[in-house]
Structure 1
Amino acid sequence: MSDNPLLRDAPYPPFDAIRPEHAEPAIDQVLAENRRRVAELAGQVRPTWASLVVPLEAIEERLERTWAPVSHLNAVMNSEAWREAYNRCLPKLTDYATELGQNEALYRAFRALREGEAYPRLEPAGQRLVDNALRDFRLSGVELAGPERARFRAIQEELARLGTRFEENLLDATQAWKRRASAEELAGLPETALALARRYAEREGVDGYLLTLEMPCYLAVMGHARSRALRREVYEAYVTRASDRGPHAGRFDNGPVMERILALRHEAARLLGFASYAELSLATKMASSVEEVLGFLRELARHSRPAAERELAELAAFARERDGLERLEAWDIAYYAERMREERLGLAEEALRPYFPLPRVLEGMFEVVRRLFGITVRPRAGVPVWHPDVSFHEIVDEDGTVLGGFWLDPYARPHKRGGAWMDECRARLRRDGAVQTPLAFLTCNFTPPVQGRPALLTHDEVLTLFHEFGHGLHHLLTRIDWPSVGGIRGVPWDAVELPSQFLENWCWEAEALALISGHYETGEPLPRALLERLRAARNFHAGLQMVRQLEFALFDMRLHAEYDPARGGRVYEILEAVREEVAVVRPPAFNRFAHGFSHIFAGGYGAGYYSYKWAEVLAADAYSAFEEAGVFDAATGRRFRREILEQGGAREPMALFVAFRGRPPRVEPLLRHSGIEPVQEQPQ
């Protein structure tokens, strides 16, 4: 198998050589070798850090290193061949992971290490690794008896398959819908969107314009199409994807998949002694209980819902005055919000695009992190890529040390999963006296270059890029040599969004905007008037945005906390109850949002979606340190790098936050940054 590119010990995965047929043989070989090595390691009488943890970290990282390119290519170059290869490997990996987690001999070895004399002398990262390992053994069912252990293992395998099926159904449903449109129907769309629709048509070999449900097209129609009928049609197609409603009703239906996922998660949690999957999920997070999470979300809702109600009433009045619209529907909100922002704030999102060409944004973003963290980001040629649009960059420290690198895959295209994300390719690892530098994937779905122009981003897309790069820095700047607690690994899910949301703040600062903006034709920076309008619009509809996220988070937590096997998932019953409590926008009955909620059903956020808001509190308060010291204050930036980015999961996130900020986090900066006035407690 030495000719298998996935098994080469090369500096970078040879993406130019990796094919679907390489996946299963490579995984089979690595799993077989790992199993033999685990059996040797688990049999130790007096395990030490060097004899147990160091070799185990190395073999687990080799497996991750082998699988990461396969998983990534399945997401960004999806095809029947890649899908089949991925799905053949997935149960084998799940089975291995469960087997490892239920390995009693290995569990005893870690317990012996924890109870031994050497444990107190381990560095904090080492102690946390051992403690996390013991916790994860228990959460993997190591203490279960025979039949229950076998059942838990079967559940984990089925859940892995179901998560993949959910994602595939959603991708297939998104790709299945296409609609030809006339120029008249597309009145109001900006030229960038029209050029994209023409490009879609050319791609499909048809004349005129073609609409799809890829995000750049969907957002353009919802925000700019004057035709209300077209907006409704596209909205319905989008919000009924992979469901029992809409233009492809029942064809890719995720309904049964959701029900089965919820049932199996609940059963697994009960086997481990938890009352619900929500409790199981929180066993590895900062938040201590379901009640704490619900209280946190409801407290934010108490402050933000009054603002959201005012904003929606103002928008409805605006639509009525402008166009005589008697009832504001879900497919009207983005359109009239954009018109209102244009008229009242003098700011059109599309007017900003020419000032945010992707090459300039990247150059400016790299300068921002250079000033903050003392690192240089530079392109590197000759590194294998999987598509011509992909580029590779490496991160270099002030002393010239290469700290890591990442691939940037920026544009939407067919057979590429929607959304934006950062994922690991390789982790930092010390082995044989040398350090393996980390590698990452940075993936977005921006509108590609059209008509000879560079890709022009909206300001929202600039925020997305900064967000994902923040995740990337967390992975790439780690100083922890052990993958289990380095980078983003070992970081509780409700703290892992801190660096990503933190970095977004520079997209609003005048000093940073001067770096990341420049007209694609003239190089002219964002004019002062536009800059001031952009900053004034920062909190436009902040209340509506806040309660929307709170709706998702409450729905997710309640869905998993209140599951009753006798009653089933009650997905839309619970969603409706949550909307009654916090939402101000009530979507139509055909809306099937949950059927496409891949974050919680396929993306690792099950009973954890609240993490975005939880970490946003941390991020806003962390940023307030720069508001006090200066947005490019080097000392504060280096302290954030040292205490947060370099530490990964080596210590409790609250301890890291306090080390940076000097105190526990406060919610006030988040409300202030959102332009939301705290609601005062009423006297009794």
Structure 2
Amino acid sequence: MIANNPLLENFDYAPFSKIKNEHYKPAIKQAIQLANQEIDAITTLNEKPTFQNTIEALEYSGEKLGRITGIFFNINAAETNEEIQQIAQEISPWLSKFKNDLLLNETLFTRVKTVFQEKENLDLTPEQQMLLEKHYKSFSRNGANLSDTDKEKLREIDTELAQLSLSFGEHVLAETNAYELLIENEADLEGLPEDEKETAAKLAKANGRDGFLFTLQYPSYLPFMKYVKNRTLRKKMALAFGKKAFQDNVFNNEEIVLKIAKLRYQRAQLLGYKTHAHFVLEERMAKNPEKVNNFLAELREKAQTKAKAQFNELETFAKNLDNIDRLEKWDSAYYAEKLKQQRFDLDDEKLKPYFKLKNVIKGVFDISEKLYQLKFQEVDNIDKYHEEVKTYQVTNTQGDKVALLYADFHPRAGKRGGAWMTVYKDQQQKNNHNERPHISIVCNFTRATENKPSLLTFNEVTTLFHEFGHALHGMLANTTYPSLSGTSVYWDFVELPSQLLENWCYEEEALALFAKHYQTNELIPQNLIEKIKKAANFLEGMQTLRQLSFGMLDMAWHATNPSDIDNVKKHENQAFEATKLFPDVSENCMSTAFSHIFQGGYSSGYYSYKWAEVLDADAFAYFKENGIFNLEIATKFKNYILSQGGTQDPMLLYKRFRGKEPNPNALLKRAGLLD
């Protein structure tokens, strides 16, 4: 055992600077032993099972293990390396075994079941009732009633799934980092804004090369696809992006995708469910795959006509502009941007000067203060895992501590792509003390150049607001139990706070708080605001169809029996057939890099983005009717949604906030899909 392991000491803030890679394995091993001792204390108790000595005791067990693994896996996502990835592969079976030992512990389940069967006679609060049900279901839905033989099968499946998921993510990251496109002739970059050229030149120089260097990281890839006129080069980049983990090398994920899908199906069957989607959706607002498929089909029906018309319009535009006979996937962003510029006289290069990252951060803070009375103070005495990370103490207007916020904004080789919110410490009430949460948002935004600060595209602005909406859900949590706190809600409800906050990016009253020119401090002109609003629904039919196709692909993998699937690409093409607009690209495959469903927690849940859009459109309509900074409505949203976590059924919470169930027409109207 390593002496003075910082992970095993009592700490409030994660002690990042003291942690070395060799600390993780012994700390996790010891934390598992401690958690097992806490479970043993429950199962060997000679007292009758009660809510307090069994359910609450179980809820608060394993806290040390949760904090240590929370730190480790967040580092594995935001600042990983080969050694960290190797440790992840080694500890994954330990954690799978611990989880299975817990959920398949017959003595523990008997005590939980005893309390559950007496629930009608117990004087429990709604939150306690939810906690009891959640713990009972965690056993009953995960093998507690299986035979010993089947329990062993379940253990084997869970261990293999955990390792496959890790390998999937490592392969995607490796493929993302491996590809570089060096452009030596500046004329080949015709159309690319000077800022983007400067960034690419800086990257090339940092790598000891002459010219302009581009990667598959989003801040490099997206501007390239949107602005570079050279179609051959766009195709080259698009093919590289679409080939991630779909090439004949050690990082190919095809076999992993097939194994994950089949193992999830076998697991569901073992537990008595028809498919993995049936298992997952039982604990979602949607309840079953049929409802999800109907939801996706109804939206597709409403979007398809508009989507096809918009695609034809875009193809005609490309034909007229550059004599393009057939619109390909690598043409989409380029000609969409050209058409948007023509129609609205609007492009990111006109908007970016008004969205300096520092100002946008202050803007989302100011909006949060207006809505929820929060104050954000940057501090430099909190340990960080990387020097670029910013830390903020969050308080309310009375000065009470609300949360600690970490923010990590720019891409690095050790950081996976995309953007996400995560938790380093859960909010909970324990020993008569309300322990406040430590929340983190991680993004991959455009960096500053030698001549300019970090200026965000409008899409990056909405991404920051999206992740901050999740962060508010975590920061404003006010529940008793950690497993019901913050974003611990049904998966198709979790996107409501994040997607709702994006709406403020389109409102003049909100933009006035932060959209100021980085050089002159001039407020964004009214005519640009109007253009942003008008462009909000630009090609929305195509965008909706694209999003629906991802949800349908997810269900194609998880709502059917995948046993006979032997070709990932063929299966994917069949799933995409109903939403197809562009010609297929044989060299590309989405499934092999679809981290949301094969590495993240969105398997059988990708539809939830659209599901939550129905909720957020309806909720924002409520704000719009009464003022986007209406304190009464914001307070209701905080009290009934943000602070409540998973303590009650989400539709019940939503109806308390809104006074009624959501109206789907609010989404269709906002998206311009209602005639």
2:428–2:478: 8 Å Cα contact kept in structure 1? no
CA offset at residue 431 of structure 1?
2.4
Aligned pair 1:234/2:237, yes or no?
yes
Q: Aligned Cα RMSD in Å?
A: 1.4
- Partner residue of 1:595? 592
Which deviates more, 195-204 or 92-101? Answer: 195-204
Aligned to 2:332: 333
State the match for 2:70 in structure 1.
68
Amino acid at match of 1:58: Y
Q: How does 1:333-352 map to 2 (within 5 A)?
A: 333-352=332-351
Specify the SS of the correspondent of 1:85: helix
Whether contact under 8 Å (2:392, 2:405) holds in the other structure is yes
TM-superposed deviation, 1:230: 0.4
Is 1:606 matched with 2:585? Answer: no
Alignment correspondent of 2:455: 456
Q: 2:490 aligns with which of 484, 489, 492?
A: 492
Given candidates 559, 569, 572, the residue that maps to 1:572 is: 569
Q: How does 1:406-445 map to 2 (within 5 A)?
A: 406-445=405-444
Give the partner amino acid of 1:676.
L
C-alpha displacement of 1:283: 1.7
Letter in 2 for 1:228: R
C-alpha distance in 2 between matches for 1:571 and 1:631? 46
Could you tell me which amino acid in structure 2 is paired with residue 601 of structure 1?
F
- The within-5 A match list for 1:5-404 is 5-44=6-45, 45-116=47-118, 120-182=122-184, 183-244=186-247, 249-404=248-403
Letter of the structure 1 residue corresponding to residue 543 of structure 2: Q
User: Aligned partner of 1:221: which letter?
Assistant: F
Count of aligned residue pairs for this structure pair:
672
Q: Is the CA contact (8 Å cut-off) linking 2:55 and 2:135 kept in structure 1? A: no
Equivalent pair of 2:38/2:62 in contact (CA under 8 Å): no
Contact in 2 for aligned 1:617/1:667 (Cα 8 Å): yes
Structure 1 residues 419-450: Cα deviation after superposition (integer angstroms, max 9, x where no partner): 00001111012223322211112000001111
Matches within 5 A, 1:529-540: 529-540=527-538
Q: Is the 8 A contact 2:43 2:107 kept in 1?
A: yes
- For residues 567 and 151 of structure 2, the distance between their equivalents in structure 1, rounded to whole angstroms, comes to 28
**Partners of 2:427 and 2:482 within 8 A in 1:** yes
The structural deviation recorded for 1:569 is 5.5
Hey, what does 2:663 align to over in structure 1? 666
Secondary structure at the counterpart of residue 185 of structure 1: helix
Q: CA deviation at 1:578?
A: 3.0
- Deviation readout 1:208-244 (Å, 9 max, x if unpaired): 2111111111101100001101000000000011113
Contact kept in structure 2, 1:200 and 1:209, CA below 8 Å: yes
1:512-523 to 2 correspondences below 5 Å: 512-523=510-521
User: Structure 2-normalised TM-score?
Assistant: 0.97
Tell me the CA shift for residue 57 of structure 1: 2.6
Q: 1:505 aligns with which of 503, 510, 525?
A: 503
Counterpart position of 1:682: none
2:246/2:588 contact within 8 Å kept: no
Instruction: Report the Cα distance in structure 2 between the residues aligned to 1:189 and 1:119, rounded to whole angstroms.
Output: 69
Deviations 1:174-194 (A, max 9, x none): 111112102122221112211
Q: What is the Cα deviation at residue 571 of structure 1?
A: 3.4
Distance 2:49 2:433 in 1: 23
Asked whether the equivalents of residues 254 and 568 of structure 2 are also in contact (C-alpha less than 8 Å), the reply is: no
Conserved? CA contact 2:466–2:499, under 8 Å: yes
Q: Cα deviations across residues 536-584 of structure 1 (Å, max 9, x unaligned)?
A: 100001111100010010111122112242x126533343233221232
Equivalence for 1:643:
640
Q: Distance in 2 between matches of 1:452 and 1:64?
A: 44
Distance 1:502 1:203, change over 3 A: same
Deviations 1:56-80 (A, max 9, x none): 3333332211111111111111111
SS of 1:16 mapped into structure 2: helix
The one-letter amino acid of 2:41's match is E
SS of alignment partner, residue 96 of structure 2: helix
Match of 1:4 in 2: 5
**Between 425-434 and 137-146, the greater mean CA deviation after superposition:** 425-434
SS in 2 for 1:411: coil
Amino acid at match of 1:19: K
The Cα shift of 1:118 comes to 7.9
**Higher alpha-carbon deviation: 424-433 or 509-518:** 424-433
In 1, Cα distance between equivalents of 2:566 and 2:165: 16
Distance 1:143 1:12, change over 3 A: same
Structure 1 residues 320 and 117: alpha-carbon distance in aligned structure 2, compared to 1, 3 A threshold: closer
**Alpha-carbon displacement from aligned partner over 1:613-646 (angstroms, at most 9, x marks no partner):** 1111111111111011111101000100000000
Measure how far apart 1:20 and its partner are: 1.1
Distance 2:240 2:283 in 1: 37
Distance 1:675 1:167 in 2: 36
Q: Contact 2:417–2:444 at 8 Å: present in 1 too?
A: yes
Question: Contact 2:88/2:166 (CA < 8 Å) preserved in 1?
Answer: no
Report SS of the residue matched to 1:523: coil
What amino acid is aligned across from residue 6 of structure 1 in structure 2?
L
- The code of the aligned residue for 1:131 comes to E
State the SS of the aligned residue for 1:605. coil
For residues 44 and 432 of structure 2, the distance between their equivalents in structure 1, rounded to whole angstroms, comes to: 25
* 1:633-684 Cα shifts (integer Å, max 9, x gaps): 0100010000000000000000000000101111111111111125xxxxxx
Q: Is the 8 A contact 1:374 1:638 kept in 2?
A: no
CA contact (8 A) 2:565 2:571 kept: no
Alpha-carbon distance change, 570 to 120 in structure 1, aligned in 2, over 3 angstroms: farther
- Consecutive unaligned residues in structure 2, runs of 5 or more: none
Conservation of the 8 A alpha-carbon contact between 1:462 and 1:507: yes
- Taking the aligned partners of 1:496 and 1:560, their CA distance within structure 2 comes to 20
1:622-641 superposed matches below 5 A = 622-641=619-638
* C-alpha deviation, 1:117, in angstroms: 6.3
Letter in 2 for 1:26: A
CA distance in 1, matches of 2:196, 2:584: 26
CA contact (8 A) 1:41 1:51 kept: yes
- Which one is further off, 331-340 or 105-114? 105-114
Distance 1:674 1:50, change over 3 A: same
Mapped to 2, the partners of 1:514 and 1:587 lie a distance apart of 43
Rounded to whole Å, the distance in 2 between the matches of 1:422 and 1:385 is 16
Distance 1:509 1:338 in 2: 22
SS of the residue corresponding to residue 665 of structure 1 reads coil
Q: 1:119 to 1:192 in 2, by over 3 A?
A: farther
Give the secondary structure class of the aligned counterpart of 1:184: helix
Is structure 2 residue 547 aligned with structure 1 residue 549? Answer: yes
**Partner Cα distance (1:434, 1:571) in 2:** 51
Alignment match, 1:681: none
Q: Is the 8 A contact 1:114 1:131 kept in 2?
A: yes
Query: Which whole-Å CA distance do the structure 2 matches of 1:356 and 1:119 have between them?
Result: 57
TM-score (norm 1): 0.96
* Structure 1 unpaired stretches of 5+: 679-684
Aligned residue number for residue 612 of structure 2: 615
Q: Measure the CA separation in 2 of the matches of 1:375 and 1:430.
A: 21
Counterpart code for 2:643: E
The whole-number CA distance in structure 2 between the counterparts of 1:406 and 1:100 is 32
